[in-house]
Chain A
Amino acid sequence: MTVKTRPEPPGVGTPPAGSGPRISLGALRRIPHVGLIAVLAVVVIFTAAQSETFATDRNILNILGQISVNAVLAAGLTLLMTAGGMDFSMGSNVAVTAAVTAKLIAHGHATPLAVVVSLLLGTALGLVNGVVVTFTKVAPFVVTLATATLLDGVALLVHDGNTISIGQHMFTFGNEKVLGVPWLLIVAVVVLVATALVMRFTVFGRDAFAIGGNEHVARLSGINVTARKLTLYGLTGLLSGLGGVMLLARLGSSSPGSTAGLSLQLSVVAAVVIGGTSLAGGHGTVLGTALGLVLLGVVANALNLLDFSSNYQPVSVGAVLLIAAIANEMHKARAARH
């Protein structure tokens, strides 16, 4: 945001003739995430022109369904990163909770019980991260990278080399629609909206900005930083547990070393960072994260429709992340100069 520290002398405010287009550009720039929206629009228009399938209801719901799990994780990560934290283990938490839930259901336990266990397990794993980060002062990146690797291994141990199928359990939740909208998408939207409301309208959410902006100031201002951080890590764990259930419901089985784990984590982090949330804390919006999720989903879908090999998938995620990160940085530099 530009801030004028002194009043403008009269007459300076009126722009000289011929600078009309620049003014409107400036006004455009003030729209939040305008760069991201522009890139998204370009990709959408280009793909729609190349492929007839792209702009169909079916395909769009397909895209949104595919990013639902990522969206649930990304919502939690946005809040955590805004508070200056980092959780690199959410994807691996998903792998473990999905495997454990599958195993419980496959062993004949009731599905609701398995789901509750999954959510509790996810929360507990998140809290472990939180406890280590809060009480040892080891950098969150290091702590959660370690737990991520560890949990990836645990997931492999749980699978013991086999794919665990849950048959028709949770089929409705994972694949059916209500009023034309997939259940998973509804859950994802609810989580995103709830996170956005928390960040905007609750003191808990504003505390996250304060902690991420300057932890010392937050603590001296009477904010219980330790409790807040534990809650935030617990929350990302809980959402990872939920993500695990959603992924399992969508796929109908959990297999060793597949979709979840660090690769899922990377695309979640990418979506959050593309959305403009600061790695250093203090800034973050759920809207940006949602746009980042959609952009990555659309690009993946476009590559698919345009018959690119799936090996281009990581290439596209990496390229989009790099471009978005550079664009965000340039935007910040411009804001700082004025």
Chain B
Amino acid sequence: MTLLAIIIILFAGGLLAWLAERYFQAGGRWISLISLLFTTVLLTNYSSFITSTEAITDNTWWDSLKIPWIPRFGIDFYLAIDGLSFLMLSLTIAMGIFGLIMTWNDIQFRRGFFYFNYLWTLAGVAGVFTAIDLFLFFFFWEVMLIPMLFLIAVWGYERRIYAAIKFFIFTQASSLLMLIAIVGLAYIHYINSGQLTFNYNILLEAQVPSDIAYWLMLGFFIAFIVKLPALPFHTWLPDAHTQAPTAGSILLAAILLKTGAYGLLRFNLPLFPESSILFAPVAMTIGALSVIYGAMLAFAQNDMKRLVAYSSVSHMGFVLLGLYALDTIAIQGAVMQMIAHGLSTAALFALVGALQHRLHTRDMQQLGGVWSKLPKLSAVALFFAVASLGLPGLGNFVAEFTVLVGSFRSNHWLTALAAIGLIGAALYALIMMQRVFFGKLNKRLEKPIQESNTADLNVRETGALLVVAALLVLIGLHPQPIFNISDKTVQMSVNKIESALSFQKFPPKISPLQVHSSRVEPTSIEDNTP
């Protein structure tokens, strides 16, 4: 019931926020904050599971809720939560609150409708992370798009319509391929077993002929890497990020991109293990190329938001690389990267938004030497910039390092290629710091700074940013709890892959992956912290 309550609170909060804005000027944001805090309280229900992960229960799911929905197609309203879902759900709620607080005063018009869309996006994403019926998953996958579309199209910057439509068509068209794959999978299962169902747990056991499985896998894969976004399908991201309002960028970067990665780990790998093994080299190549390509393009940008957006492409390339290394450590690293990237990029977007709010530009040619005027903001920006480039001691480093260590065993060359991306990350992050914050104050800035009384970060913003910074340090220094929480889901995927592998190589000698199936040793990661 808790899961349903979380989703309902978010949906209802959105409606209330819209209606309340007619009567109270600032009613919408308070209602949003209260409903988000309320969901946080509900999430703490699961705290007992975090601490007792060692106690092995037969049930994979911590909690589940199943209500028949469309019996004609065997579709249930089936929500469930496990370690991975819990991490993603926490990230969703946390970044929801963060985005809300960071843009507390930014929205000047149509506030009620803004918070309606904001909460509905969060509700859709919460549904995506907990839906275990494939139809329901698709349902939420689409539901989260519409409010996001409005966020970009109404409160965005200059070319918002173009960006919004591009974002929507990319994701929607690719998700139709996923719909065909979902229906195909359910249908093949129906032919084989006579049971029409979209239940994930049952479909995991579906016997799909390998050539068809490959096509179905591709259907899912394309939908997910468009969202991720990976190389050939990334073009919507810079536009959407750049044109979206700050809160929208935070949602996009911190949460929506993660749905793609989540889908790959939750659905692609366990549902189609054989095809995933076949496809892994291609996917890893796409991942490694995204890392390099994203870094290169980020380096070439003048627009700060575009720079951060392309850095997302680069970072999410690591996720793709790690997931398709099909290795426990690498997948753990990918999960860590999802969280660390969510935190650091959300903060960077919030900072760019704050900067634009104060100086009315995010063009790096117009900026320069901001540090002297906005010392607090610049210092915080420095922290997140080095977090983004992977400074040891922070979450991103742990994530990228783990991905690279895990992937190296699967594919030396691609991993080496991706590692070059780290240099690129250092380049673009430091260049951004140099051009925006260091040096002499840009002459073009003097007038706006004098005219409008430009204030540094206030207590609200500083507080929110420092909490995120503290979280990054925490998971940088002590990542083990997160590895523990997600361990079971990752193990499940890896076990599926391994059984598929050992099935392929019939003299059942020890497959190279089985060596690492043991738990990640805490020391191996903590040794690297300074």
Partners in one complex: no
Could you list which residues of chain B lie within 8 angstroms of chain A, going by C-beta atoms?
none
Could you list which residues of chain A lie within 8 angstroms of chain B, going by C-beta atoms?
none
